[in-house]
Chain A
Amino acid sequence: MSDNPLTPTRLERLQALFEEALEHPAAERAALLETLEPGDEYLRTEVLALIKAHELGEDQFRSPVSASALIDATTGEDRWVGTRVGAYRVVRLVGVGGMGAVYEAARDDDQYKKRVAVKFLHRHVGSEPALARFRAERQILANLNHPNIAALVDGGVTDDGQPYIIMEYVDGLPITQWCDEQNMSVHNRLSLYLQVCAAVQSAHRSLVVHRDLKPGNILVTGDGRVKLLDFGIARLMTPDGDVAMPLTVSGSRSFTPDYASPEQVRGLPVDTRADVYALGVILFELLVGYRPFDLRGKSIGEIEKIVLETEPPRPSASITEARASLIGERSASRARAAVEGDLDAIVSKAMRKEAERRYGSADLMAFDLQQHLIGLPVSARPDGVGYRMKKLIRRRKIETAALSLAVLSLVAGLVATTMQARRAEAQSRRAEQVTDFIATMLGSADPASLGKDVTVREVLDSAAAHADTLASNPELEAEIRSVIGSTYMGLGEFEAGEAQFRRALDAHKRRVPGGDYATAVTLTKQSHALEYLGEYAAADSVMKTASVLIDRFPHKDPLEYATFLDQRGRILARLGKNQEAEPVFQEALDVTTKAAPGRDSLLAYAYVNLGFVEAELGKFPKAESLYVAAITSARRAYGNEHPELAAMLSPYASVLEYAGKSAKADSVYLEVLAMRKKLLGEDHPEYAWTMFNYADYLLGKKRYPEAALWSRKVLALRGKTLPDTHMAVSTAMGVLGRALGPMDSLAVAERALRESLELRRKHLPEGHWAIASSESILGAHLVLAGRYSEAEALLVPAEKKLVEARGEDAAVVGDARKRLVLLYTQWEKPQSAAGWERKLKSAAGP
């Protein structure tokens, strides 16, 4: 346009022609303009271009004026920069996109300079239930733990109702741009692309569909690692969030049309295979340099028609001379040869119009790409013998130069390839079935069929019921139930989760009666669920079975193995078997440090668990430094106000207390109490534990009235949120009793202590050290009451049991011996008192 200056006269003429042409049917316009303006070709083209722009509709021309835009503009800066979001301070605007503005933020304190990306979503979450749902769904995303997926750090809603999510900050380039800048070869592009498939597959297994995969969401960092952004964000963005958080949204079109599958364009419910389609488009673009369809400047109607009806071109046919050098090939014909055949077929299969004819999963697509990379047949191609032979010969060429053996190896190779293909088929079939099932589940979450309020919980319930139909295929059933179970756990539905794991194990048993590695992994999950339900003995026996199985396998996935060790150690510790737990946790820490350096949340757990048993074993300096390491990692991973952080500060306070650092302990206790009350509410069992710990601490400091007050607060929850099986009940009862003793409420105290002991005898396995500890405490109380012989009958055997269970050096053994010294001193039996004094000193000595 610039070479044709727009004079007022010409513009007037342009408008007149434009208006005139608009009056006529599209087909006649060109001819009409020819008659009206035969001399000026420029004007004629311009008019047609204007009409095209006009037809894009008003949607393209929405007014930018809004209250928030004006605030941003009139304050001269951004409304979020400088504000606090969660534990982070917003530093600067990085970009504004379709789903909202993206900012860089940094941790608010100087201690940890962690960079994150904050996204403010264009959506308001008003009501309480909507908020709760937003948080639940967000939790599922937070559990997407994959090295190639940018981690969701946090998310929430600002005071004025603006939802946001905080993600790992990724400094990288879109995968297409990165590959082009490096002139990457086709082979290297595919290797990189496999990382993308792996990440997508991992998310699909957690029932999260991306819905908006595109190069801009697939970044490659400076060190060549792929990071996928915005997983599941499309779902958090669903428009009627005030009503529900549906898994799928009909009719919403918050996607980039270039990568959208036909079902998305039509506004139908989508599942994992919409992501497979997008993967196909991205692979095309990665190879060819542009996208299969040119949708620029097209109207919605035109876009629909193209995506629904036009077959994408073959990538190999689309490679230009200019492109060849970018993908590291000397000529276009060489580049085309590298892409022709397998890669054409793979892209075409991923981009089929009908979802059911695409690859069933990202895994299956990755499998084909891998086959291609090592020169084996791909499933996307017709299964002709000729194709196989060609493949084989090419493969032979690469692998061996021994031409004299060519014929022989050809025959051998053909057999091997056929077998390989057959095995691949079986493997693919199962992967496909899992994916189909998941897809059906997500599909059945169509708001139209289940009503508006479709939540993850409902989808899971219907999936669990649906899984009954899989009885004939135990392998598939086990895998699917395990996925469902884990998702229930993520929602905090432990009982439902445990039931699914149990049924997964039934299926495993039908598959391999003796059990195998997969069985062990499921057992670990079941044990975890049982632990959450407070059934430690059952959780322990489950782990014993798992240990036997897992020890048979020398090569374990390190993170899976760390999870297993962690679970086994935790159950041992819960049962008071700290001597046994210690080496298990030490190994878990070693494995985690090696397998996941820099993964702060995982490291924090490994440290804290080992710290816990060290403290239980009375090794306080060691425990203290482990806790410090854990809390440092946790603050880095979660910020300064987070349930997980509280869970670590709480035992840290006890350790400080035992290590004699009272002032520090007191302040840590108060930090945890405040944090938990705010995060969990006053009725929460975790808050109860914290109150109990504080009560116990106060007791130790002889602050009896306060100790009684806090333990009574714990006991107020008994029967409400704390069942009698919960350790906090019996323990708090014990503290109350001991606090009341010195306050002269001897009878009340005795009742509390006896009830505490009874609860423990009833709910803990026989021989548990905590029972002995209760007996010893009751004995001490009887000393105060002057009932010495009754006291002796409790204190002596209790000390013996404690030594057996915890060893000579345990803190509880020392306590028990102090009580014996007190008994015999009060009872005026100095010889016995002196004997216990010696035992106490020799054990405590260096």
Chain B
Amino acid sequence: MEITAILQDVENGVAGAADRLASAVFADLHRIAQAAMRRESEGHTLQPTELVDEAFIRLVGQKNISWQNRAQFFAVAARTIRRILVDHARHRLRQKRDHGIRVTLDESISSAPDRSLDLVALDEALERLDAAAPRQARVVELRFFGGLEIDETAHALGISPATVKRDWTFARAFLLRSLEATA
């Protein structure tokens, strides 16, 4: 399969390989998500990690593939999902501004403590974290956007599960704090 070759390239640091992988993942995520929606309407909710797993299985198959490969794939998938969602959130924001819409139908959209996270602000905060603490930022990306568990994240980044746990706790607090400060 072509994708294994791309993964090999990614592993060997071939220029542009990560981008090629990302676009393959991107195309497939959409199809997977659509299939998942049908299942969701039957009461089955797909977890983010299953989504990425499924993308992996569909793109790569369950052939023998080194952990390094698998970890690369997850990293790219998580990064891709992050980009897709954040771009979309930004697009929505822009649309709102363009139309001069006042969001009046439901106040909880913008203000308030427990509402859904502002992805655009989160992305910006994550960039800031990335600048000073890239490892912690990778942990967030894999856990938050890729849906990986502690152990899988540890494998993917080649660090200990304990470190992942500590980084995750800290990074989460850091991001929440940043969101609060910008709100």
Contact between B43 and A296 (Cβ–Cβ < 8 Å)? no
B182 CB → nearest A CB, Å: 9
Asked if A67 is an interface residue, CB under 8 A from chain B, the answer is yes
Contact between B81 and A61 (Cβ–Cβ < 8 Å)? no
Q: Please name all residues of chain B whose beta carbon is closer than 8 Å to the beta carbon of A94 when the two chains form the complex.
A: 101, 103, 105
Q: Please name all residues of chain A whose beta carbon is closer than 8 Å to the beta carbon of B114 when the two chains form the complex.
A: 59-60, 257
Complex CA–CA separation, A385 to B56 (angstroms): 80
Contact between A6 and B107 (Cβ–Cβ < 8 Å)? no
Specify which of A18, A74, A97, A257 is in contact with B105 (CB 8 Å cutoff): A97
Q: Please name all residues of chain A whose beta carbon is closer than 8 Å to the beta carbon of B41 when the two chains form the complex.
A: 124, 160-162
Instruction: Give the contacts of A156-194 with B (CB-CB under 8 A).
Output: 160-162, 170-174
- Contacts A60-B176, A92-B99, A174-B107: A18 and B170 contacting too (C-beta < 8 A)? yes
B133 CB → nearest A CB, Å: 5
Mark interface residues in B1-36 (1 if CB within 8 Å of A CB, else 0): 000000000000000000000000010011011101
Q: Please name all residues of chain B whose beta carbon is closer than 8 Å to the beta carbon of A46 when the two chains form the complex.
A: 177
Instruction: Give the contacts of A441-479 with B (CB-CB under 8 A).
Output: none
A346 CB → nearest B CB, Å: 24
Complex CA–CA separation, A310 to B133 (angstroms): 41
Contact between B29 and A97 (Cβ–Cβ < 8 Å)? no
Asked if B173 is an interface residue, CB under 8 A from chain A, the answer is yes
Specify which of B95, B166, B175, B177 is in contact with A49 (CB 8 Å cutoff): B177
Contact between A65 and B107 (Cβ–Cβ < 8 Å)? no
Contact between B113 and A298 (Cβ–Cβ < 8 Å)? yes
Contact between A11 and B133 (Cβ–Cβ < 8 Å)? yes
Contact between B173 and A67 (Cβ–Cβ < 8 Å)? no
Asked if A75 is an interface residue, CB under 8 A from chain B, the answer is yes
Contact between B173 and A18 (Cβ–Cβ < 8 Å)? yes
Closest to B144 in A: A63
Q: Please name all residues of chain B whose beta carbon is closer than 8 Å to the beta carbon of A18 when the two chains form the complex.
A: 170, 173
Contact between B131 and A6 (Cβ–Cβ < 8 Å)? yes
Contact between B46 and A66 (Cβ–Cβ < 8 Å)? yes
- Contacts A64-B117, A73-B88: A93 and B95 contacting too (C-beta < 8 A)? yes
Mark interface residues in B113-124 (1 if CB within 8 Å of A CB, else 0): 111110100000
Instruction: Give the contacts of B32-51 with A (CB-CB under 8 A).
Output: 32-34, 36-38, 40-43, 45-46, 48, 51
Most buried by A among B32, B105, B115, B133: B105
Asked if A353 is an interface residue, CB under 8 A from chain B, the answer is no
- Chain B contributes a number of interface residues (CB within 8 A of A) equal to 66
Closest to B45 in A: A66
Q: Please name all residues of chain A whose beta carbon is closer than 8 Å to the beta carbon of B92 when the two chains form the complex.
A: 93
A720 CB → nearest B CB, Å: 35
The binding surface of chain B is classed by DSSP as: helix
Instruction: Give the contacts of B80-115 with A (CB-CB under 8 A).
Output: 81, 84-85, 87-88, 91-92, 95-96, 99, 101-109, 112-115
Complex CA–CA separation, A391 to B38 (angstroms): 66
Partner-binding segment picked from A50-58, A572-580, A613-621, A670-678: A50-58
Complex CA–CA separation, A14 to B167 (angstroms): 12
Specify which of B106, B145, B176, B181 is in contact with A97 (CB 8 Å cutoff): B106
Asked if A846 is an interface residue, CB under 8 A from chain B, the answer is no
Contact between B37 and A297 (Cβ–Cβ < 8 Å)? no
A445 CB → nearest B CB, Å: 26
Contact between A61 and B172 (Cβ–Cβ < 8 Å)? yes
- Contacts A73-B84, A73-B87: A219 and B104 contacting too (C-beta < 8 A)? yes
Contact between A126 and B88 (Cβ–Cβ < 8 Å)? no
Q: Please name all residues of chain B whose beta carbon is closer than 8 Å to the beta carbon of A831 when the two chains form the complex.
A: none
Asked if A70 is an interface residue, CB under 8 A from chain B, the answer is yes
Asked if B67 is an interface residue, CB under 8 A from chain A, the answer is no
Complex CA–CA separation, A124 to B132 (angstroms): 43
Asked if A7 is an interface residue, CB under 8 A from chain B, the answer is yes
Contact between B147 and A65 (Cβ–Cβ < 8 Å)? yes
Asked if B160 is an interface residue, CB under 8 A from chain A, the answer is no
Most buried by B among A7, A53, A92: A53
Q: Please name all residues of chain B whose beta carbon is closer than 8 Å to the beta carbon of A162 when the two chains form the complex.
A: 41
Contact between B106 and A70 (Cβ–Cβ < 8 Å)? no
The binding surface of chain A is classed by DSSP as: mixed
Instruction: Give the contacts of A1-21 with B (CB-CB under 8 A).
Output: 1, 6-8, 10-12, 14-15, 18-19
Asked if A71 is an interface residue, CB under 8 A from chain B, the answer is yes
Mark interface residues in A656-698 (1 if CB within 8 Å of B CB, else 0): 0000000000000000000000000000000000000000000
Complex CA–CA separation, A768 to B138 (angstroms): 86
Complex CA–CA separation, A823 to B131 (angstroms): 103
Partner-binding segment picked from A197-205, A210-218, A600-608, A835-843: A210-218
- Contacts A64-B116, A70-B84, A71-B33: A97 and B132 contacting too (C-beta < 8 A)? no
Q: Please name all residues of chain B whose beta carbon is closer than 8 Å to the beta carbon of A51 when the two chains form the complex.
A: 173
A96 CB → nearest B CB, Å: 6
Closest to A102 in B: B105
Closest to A219 in B: B104
Complex CA–CA separation, A94 to B175 (angstroms): 27
Contact between B37 and A68 (Cβ–Cβ < 8 Å)? yes
Complex CA–CA separation, A7 to B128 (angstroms): 10
Q: How large is the interface on A (under 10, 10 to 19, 20 to 34, 35 or more residues)?
A: 35 or more
A507 CB → nearest B CB, Å: 42
Closest to B30 in A: A74
Complex CA–CA separation, A71 to B46 (angstroms): 13
Q: Please name all residues of chain A whose beta carbon is closer than 8 Å to the beta carbon of B145 when the two chains form the complex.
A: 63-65
Most buried by B among A51, A60, A70, A126: A70
A698 CB → nearest B CB, Å: 43
Asked if A229 is an interface residue, CB under 8 A from chain B, the answer is yes
Complex CA–CA separation, A68 to B32 (angstroms): 10
Q: Please name all residues of chain B whose beta carbon is closer than 8 Å to the beta carbon of A258 when the two chains form the complex.
A: 112
Specify which of A56, A60, A172 is in contact with B104 (CB 8 Å cutoff): A172
Contact between A66 and B48 (Cβ–Cβ < 8 Å)? yes
Closest to A303 in B: B113
Asked if A98 is an interface residue, CB under 8 A from chain B, the answer is yes
Complex CA–CA separation, A54 to B180 (angstroms): 12
- Contacts A63-B145, A70-B81, A174-B104: A95 and B33 contacting too (C-beta < 8 A)? no
A372 CB → nearest B CB, Å: 28
Q: Please name all residues of chain A whose beta carbon is closer than 8 Å to the beta carbon of B29 when the two chains form the complex.
A: 70, 74
Complex CA–CA separation, A49 to B178 (angstroms): 10
Contact between B177 and A256 (Cβ–Cβ < 8 Å)? no
Closest to A150 in B: B105
Most buried by B among A69, A171, A295: A69
Mark interface residues in A365-376 (1 if CB within 8 Å of B CB, else 0): 000000000000
Contact between B104 and A216 (Cβ–Cβ < 8 Å)? yes
Most buried by B among A11, A76, A172: A11
Mark interface residues in B51-76 (1 if CB within 8 Å of A CB, else 0): 10000000000000000000000000
Contact between B113 and A95 (Cβ–Cβ < 8 Å)? no
Complex CA–CA separation, A687 to B43 (angstroms): 35
Asked if A550 is an interface residue, CB under 8 A from chain B, the answer is no
Q: Please name all residues of chain A whose beta carbon is closer than 8 Å to the beta carbon of B36 when the two chains form the complex.
A: 67
Most buried by B among A10, A49, A64, A71: A64
Q: Please name all residues of chain B whose beta carbon is closer than 8 Å to the beta carbon of A771 when the two chains form the complex.
A: none
Q: Please name all residues of chain A whose beta carbon is closer than 8 Å to the beta carbon of B45 when the two chains form the complex.
A: 66
Q: Please name all residues of chain A whose beta carbon is closer than 8 Å to the beta carbon of B48 when the two chains form the complex.
A: 63, 65-66
Mark interface residues in A266-301 (1 if CB within 8 Å of B CB, else 0): 000000000000000000000000000001111000
Instruction: Give 11 A-B pairs besides A12-B133, A53-B174, A62-B116 with Cβ atoms closer than 8 angstroms.
Output: A15-B133, A22-B169, A50-B174, A63-B143, A64-B119, A67-B32, A67-B36, A68-B40, A76-B91, A97-B107, A102-B105
Q: Which residues of A contact B (CB under 8 A)?
A: 1, 6-8, 10-12, 14-15, 18-19, 22, 46, 49-54, 56, 58-76, 92-99, 102, 117, 119, 124, 126, 160-162, 170-174, 214-217, 219, 229-230, 256-258, 295-298
Please list 29 pairs of residues, one from A and one from B, whose beta carbons are closer than 8 Å in the complex, sorted by A's number.
Answer: A7-B132, A19-B166, A19-B170, A52-B177, A53-B176, A54-B172, A54-B176, A58-B172, A61-B175, A66-B46, A68-B40, A70-B51, A71-B33, A73-B85, A93-B92, A93-B95, A94-B101, A95-B96, A97-B105, A98-B106, A102-B105, A161-B41, A172-B104, A214-B107, A215-B107, A216-B105, A216-B107, A257-B114, A298-B113
A-B pairs, 7 with minimum CB distance: A216-B107, A97-B106, A67-B36, A65-B48, A73-B88, A74-B30, A70-B33
